Each structure stands twice: as structure tokens, then as C-alpha cells.
């Protein structure tokens, strides 16, 4: 009994250490890919580096449902394959340790990661995703003047329209046409300039144009007036870019909000099917931790010894894991048009878990 406990702690510690390392590695890779996604937005908008870091971090939790099960499966492959190559598994089996005993520490870790994923997917992931989308909206609203596109008429608020022939950099512009209709008591002003630049300070945002002219229509004289200038500043009011109220998608809502949507939310009533699919996805996805663990353990513990190694087994088990994930995605997609397909989301992981547990128990009985 004492030896079994010691072996369990050893196997569990090795697997957990490798799993955390794989998780950190995959997280770093995804952080890099997500940072590239937000980098252009932050650079073009002139937002701070802190805003860029915060956006990137908020995007991470939604990837954990994929990272964690894969990290667990990879950790099992590495740990048990290393023990196989070092003849540790062979020695333990010769000492009477059954496959169930050797698999128990991994199932305990899989159970813990499953609970961890449920907590994240029920509450933390939707809150972080909702915060990320809101923060992106804030960046686009508060820094919208920095996101002016060339070759099109850009609306800045309700009363300012800006056309830019080309942009020479993040803040430099060439060939500007600006219509300013903020003064309701007089006709709109038309400003043309050869070049301009965006300036952001504590007082707000400004567009400073150079080598141009301001055109306006004089109502009293009924004549067009023109004022040439070397430099002219156009202030952009902060209220010109309001933050609109956005309807949150099902993946941005906690499990409580999905189960009990607000009665005043008409869109929620129209999207009951999407809410139901999202609920079932969050319930089922963490079960892949146990399914992946079972597939990896069966492939490593129940196959006969081979001097050439276990490469073919690892490839087969990894392929089966990819197939399981693909089937989950397929049934989730089918459920959007055919709701009974949700049953497939439960059948795949539960069937895999039961079959692998049965195989391990049968092998332990016949040992």
C-alpha cells in the first residue's frame, strides 16, 4: 500500500510537471499569435502598450479548453514513454502494479483539470472575452481618429467627414479633404490641405493641416469665401466617437446568464438555440480531459513490449485524439441546424472514457 502511494506520487508529480511545461509553451505560442492580431490595431490607433498587453491577456482564457486537454495528453505521452524507455514501466508491472494502479494518478490529474476547465468555461472565460470585446470597442471609439483610412470618406462623429488620399505613416497624411458641420448656425466648412498630421494630447485629439485653404459660404453676401493658411488646427471632440451598447454573444455570457437570460433582452429570446448549444458545449468540453487521458494510457500500458519503441502507438493515439476533437466540432456545428445532434457531444467523450476504463480494468484482472 505504501509502495503504491509512493509510485502514485511519483507518476503524478512527473506528469503534472510536464503538463504545466507544455501548457506554458502552448500558451506562449498562442500569446504570440494573438499579439500579432492586436498589434496593428494598437499601433494604428496610437493606444498605449498597456492596452496592447491587456487585450492580449484577455484573449487567452478562451483557448484553455483546447490547451489543457492537449497538454495533459502530451504530458502522459512524454512521462510514460520515458518510463517505458528506461524500463521503469516493465519493472513496475513485474512487481505486480496493475494498469489501473499505474493509471490512477493520471486520472486524478485529469479529474482536477476537468474541474478547473468547468470553472473557467462557466465564468472566467466568458467574462474575459466580454471584457476583451468591450476594450476593443473602447480603443476603436476613443482612438477612431487615429484609424482614418485612405481613399475613403471617414466619418468622425456626426458632423465631421475626412478624406485622405494617402497615409505616409501612422500620423502623417497627404491630400486631405475635410467637411466640418459642427456649427449649426452657418453652412459647413470645407478644408483642403496638401498634408496633415494627427496629434493626441491631454486636451484631446487634433488634426493639424498644412498648406491648404478653408472654404465657406457667406450667407449675407451670398458668396463663397476662401482663406488660405500655412497651418490650421481642427479639434476633434471626445464625444464625437461614442461607445455604442453592444449585444453580447452567447460565448461572452456566464453559465448563469445563459440559463437565466434577462427577460428584457429580446435578442436572447431570439437566440435560445445558440444559448442551448453553448451551455452543452461548456458541459461537455472538459470531459475530453478524461477521454484523452484514457486513450493515452491504453496505448501506453496495454500494448505488448516492443524493442523498437512506442512511436507507432503514440502516433495512433495522437491521431485518435485529433479525431475525437474533430467529431466534437462536427456535432457542435450540426446542432445549429439539427438540435438532436447535441447528443453526439456527450456520446463521443463518455463512450471513450467508458471503453478505456473497461480496457484498463480487464487488463488488471487478467494480470
Phi, psi of 78 (to 5 degrees): -65, -50
User: Quick check: 54 pLDDT over 80?
Assistant: yes
Task: Answer whether residue 51 is part of any domain.
Answer: yes
More confident residue, 167 or 203: 167
Residues 97 and 187 in one domain: no
User: Left, alpha or beta for 87 (phi > 0: left; psi -120 to 50: alpha)?
Assistant: left
Instruction: List pLDDT tens digits, range 100-140.
Output: 999 999 999 999 999 999 999 999 999 999 999 888 877 76
Residues 226 and 295 in one domain: no
Provide the pLDDT for residue 240: 45
Residues 134 and 262 in one domain: yes
Residue 346: closest CA among 323, 361, 316, 324: 324
Number of domains in the chain: 2
Task: Answer whether residue 152 is part of any domain.
Answer: no
Residues 236 and 252 in one domain: no
Domain carrying residue 177: 158-240
Residues 105 and 27 in one domain: yes
Phi, psi of 226 (to 5 degrees): -135, 135
User: Quick check: 159 pLDDT over 60?
Assistant: yes
Instruction: List pLDDT tens digits, range 279-295.
Output: 999 999 999 999 999 99
Residue whose C-alpha cell reads 476603436 in the numeric block: 140
Phi, psi of 143 (to 5 degrees): -115, 25
C-alpha cell at 256: 448563469
Cα 152 vs. chain centroid, distance in angstroms?
Answer: 31
Which of 222, 240, 258 is where one domain is finished?
240
C-alpha cell at 271: 437566440
Residues 283 and 329 in one domain: yes
Residues 132 and 16 in one domain: yes
d(CA 320, CA 324): 6
d(CA 285, CA 280): 8
Q: Length of the chain, please?
A: 367
Average of per-residue pLDDT across 55-66: 89
User: Quick check: 143 pLDDT over 70?
Assistant: no
Provide the pLDDT for residue 268: 82
Task: Answer whether residue 31 is part of any domain.
Answer: yes
Residues 70 and 129 in one domain: yes
Which of 240, 272, 294 is where one domain is finished?
240
C-alpha cell at 231: 497651418
Residues 118 and 264 in one domain: yes
CB 324 within 8 A of CB 299: no
Provide the pLDDT for residue 44: 62
Task: Note every long-range contact of 174-182, with CB atoms under 8 Å and residues 24 or more positions apart, other chains counting.
Answer: 176/207, 176/209, 176/212, 178/207, 178/209, 178/234, 180/234, 182/237
The model's pTM: 0.76
Amino acid at each position: 500500500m505504501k509502495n503504491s502511494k509512493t509510485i502514485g506520487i511519483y507518476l503524478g508529480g512527473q506528469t503534472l510537471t510536464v503538463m504545466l511545461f507544455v501548457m506554458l509553451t502552448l500558451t506562449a505560442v498562442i500569446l504570440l499569435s494573438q499579439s500579432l492580431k492586436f498589434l496593428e490595431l494598437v499601433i494604428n490607433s496610437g493606444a498605449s502598450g498597456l492596452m496592447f498587453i491587456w487585450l492580449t491577456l484577455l484573449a487567452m482564457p478562451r483557448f484553455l479548453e483546447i490547451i489543457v486537454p492537449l497538454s495533459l495528453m502530451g504530458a502522459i505521452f512524454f512521462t510514460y514513454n520515458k518510463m517505458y524507455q528506461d524500463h521503469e514501466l516493465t519493472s513496475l508491472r513485474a512487481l505486480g502494479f496493475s494498469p489501473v494502479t499505474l493509471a490512477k494518478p493520471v486520472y486524478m490529474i485529469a479529474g482536477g483539470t476537468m474541474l478547473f476547465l468547468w470553472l473557467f468555461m462557466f465564468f472566467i472565460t466568458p467574462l474575459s472575452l466580454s471584457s476583451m470585446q468591450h476594450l476593443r470597442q473602447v480603443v476603436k471609439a476613443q482612438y477612431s481618429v487615429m484609424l482614418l483610412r485612405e481613399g475613403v470618406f471617414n466619418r468622425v462623429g456626426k458632423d465631421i467627414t475626412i478624406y485622405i488620399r494617402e497615409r505616409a505613416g501612422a500620423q502623417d497624411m497627404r491630400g486631405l479633404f475635410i467637411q466640418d458641420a459642427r456649427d449649426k448656425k452657418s453652412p459647413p466648412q470645407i478644408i483642403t490641405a496638401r498634408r496633415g498630421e494627427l496629434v493626441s494630447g491631454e486636451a484631446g485629439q487634433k488634426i493639424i493641416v498644412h498648406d491648404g485653404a478653408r472654404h465657406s459660404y457667406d450667407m449675407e453676401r451670398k458668396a463663397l469665401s476662401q482663406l488660405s493658411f500655412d497651418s490650421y488646427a481642427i479639434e476633434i471632440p471626445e464625444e464625437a466617437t461614442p461607445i455604442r451598447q453592444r449585444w453580447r454573444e452567447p460565448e461572452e455570457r456566464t453559465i448563469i446568464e445563459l440559463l437565466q437570460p434577462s427577460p428584457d433582452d429580446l435578442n436572447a429570446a431570439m437566440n435560445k438555440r445558440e444559448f442551448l448549444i453553448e451551455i452543452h458545449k461548456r458541459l461537455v468540453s472538459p470531459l475530453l480531459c478524461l477521454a484523452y487521458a484514457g486513450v493515452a494510457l491504453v496505448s501506453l500500458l496495454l500494448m505488448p513490449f516492443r524493442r523498437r519503441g512506442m512511436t507507432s502507438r503514440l502516433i495512433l493515439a495522437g491521431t485518435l485524439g485529433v479525431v475525437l476533437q474533430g467529431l466534437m466540432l462536427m456535432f457542435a456545428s450540426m446542432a445549429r441546424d439539427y438540435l438532436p445532434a447535441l447528443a453526439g457531444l456527450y456520446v463521443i467523450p463518455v463512450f471513450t472514457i467508458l471503453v478505456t476504463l473497461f480496457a484498463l480494468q480487464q487488463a488488471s484482472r487478467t494480470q
